[in-house]
Amino acid sequence: MSEIVVDGEPLPFVEGQTVAAALVAAGRVAWRTTRVQHRPRGVFCGIGVCFDCLVRIEGTGGQRACLVQAVAGMTVTTGEHDDE
Ligand code: FES
């Protein structure tokens, strides 16, 4: 099983999984909060429409985790300002 690096920690994934699928499979249902009310967000639509699943991937923010396929060694950062 391969691993991505999420917030500095290794996270295993199955080939073909998206970053969001890997996070959910690891038990993480929320990985950022909304900007104003700080409400938890993770996967909602799962098809790239709602933007709830935003993460920073390889230093680029605003990436929809449900659309990006996990690649071994990929660095992912979660947090409340990933939509900037
Ligand atoms: S879960 Fe809706 S865009 Fe990713």
Query: Is residue 84 domain-resident?
Result: no
Ligand 1, CB cutoff 6 Å, lining residues: 43-46, 48-53, 64, 66
pLDDT digits (tens, 9 = 90+) for 35-74: 889 999 999 999 999 999 999 999 999 999 999 999 999 9
Per-residue confidence (pLDDT) for residue 1, from 0 to 100: 81
The residue whose CB lies within 8 Å of the most ligand 1 atoms, and thus the one to mutate among 18, 55, 66, is 66
Q: Reduce the DSSP state of residue 45 to 3 states and report it.
A: coil
Count of domains in the chain? 1
Query: Is residue 83 domain-resident?
Result: no
Query: Is residue 26 domain-resident?
Result: yes
pTM (predicted TM-score):
0.92
Structural domain boundaries, residue 10: 2-77
Residues 53, 64 contacting (CB under 8 angstroms): yes
Listed residue (72, 81, 77, 80) closest to 59, CA to CA: 77
